[in-house]
Amino acid sequence: MSTTTSTQLFVALGPLDRELVDPYLEAHQQLILDPTEEQLAVAEAAIVRAAFTVDAALLDRMPALKVLARTGVGTDLVDVEEAGRRGIPVVITPGSNTVSVAEGVFAHLLSLVKRLPTLTGLVRGGRWNDRGAVTVGDLEGATLGVVGFGRIGRKVAQIAEAFDLQVRAYDPFAEIPEAYRCATVDEVLRSSDFVTLHAPLTAENHHLINESRLARMRPGSILVNCSRGALIDLDAAHAAMQSGHLAGLGLDVFDPEPPAYHPVFDHANTVLSPHLMGFTQRAMALTIRAAVEGAMAVLDGRDPAAVAAS
């Protein structure tokens, strides 16, 4: 494909729906979904999906690049420091999937508290009369612990109040209302019936929830992770599930992705989703719009709404 000097090329790095991008491009801008080497070499903007690796080798193939726009906030696979050295800002899109992830937390939580997988199996298998052996719980009056109180953690707390849940929260950096605030992660774990994780994945937070921390959780508690897979030691979680100390486990994220099989996946009180809670139709539209608008801001010489720190 030939291009003119007046055409600004946006290339998709990873799968992208053209219908979500084209409405925001100007007449002189064009999206390439499956770029050739020639198109990569002249592209001025790239829309980067979560599973796509952007390293120095790729940047070498894109000498005209002026901006990387990541659809989301995670930059684990993007060499932000190398991009910064080359004067290429990495736009991120915080907030566009906040509501979707928070709702996903409650989808997992309600499924586990109300024992939906088990009850589905009873009806499907013609075992109606076994229903008396299944204990179904409630959210009202229980305590939800929120580890990480950024945008998603705050939205989770807001939804929790609508369910008449008590909220306890910990975050070493964020402002937390006095009524929610805990001094440590362990305090959250000890005081909560349900725990949801919204902490970033750092070296310190790798296996944040491990054997010793699981032991501090209330017997019969439920753990949900819609943040980063490596926050939980799955071997330790499996042992806690087998002993009954942990009554339910909801996982939307894994390490790595896609994950290798783990025996905790087969537990009757485990609910799994393939990292889709933040990728609803509405959230994806908002995320891609924010990525495109951020890229266009850079190309126009304006400051984008948010960039990753290098």
- Write down the domain spans for the chain: 8-94+281-299, 98-272
Which pLDDT does position 2 carry in this prediction? 43
82 is catalytic: no
- Tell me if 8-94+281-299 shares its fold with 98-272: yes
pTM of the model: 0.86
Predicted local distance difference test score (pLDDT) of residue 76: 83
- Specify the CATH number of the domain 8-94+281-299: 3.40.50.720
pLDDT of residue 50: 82
Which amino acid makes up residue 148?
G
Query: Is 275 noted as a catalytic residue in this protein?
Result: yes
Q: Which residues of the chain have pLDDT under 50?
A: 1-5
| Among 81, 257, 282, 302, the one annotated catalytic | 257
Q: Catalytic annotation on 211?
A: no
Q: Which of 108, 218, 228, 238 is catalytic?
A: 228
For the sheet with 221-225, list strands across it: 166-170, 143-147, 194-197, 221-225, 246-251, 270-272
| pLDDT tens-digit series, residues 66-119 | 999 999 888 889 999 999 999 999 999 999 999 999 999 999 999 999 999 999
Domain 98-272: CATH class, spelled out = alpha beta
What pLDDT shows up at residue 3?
Answer: 46
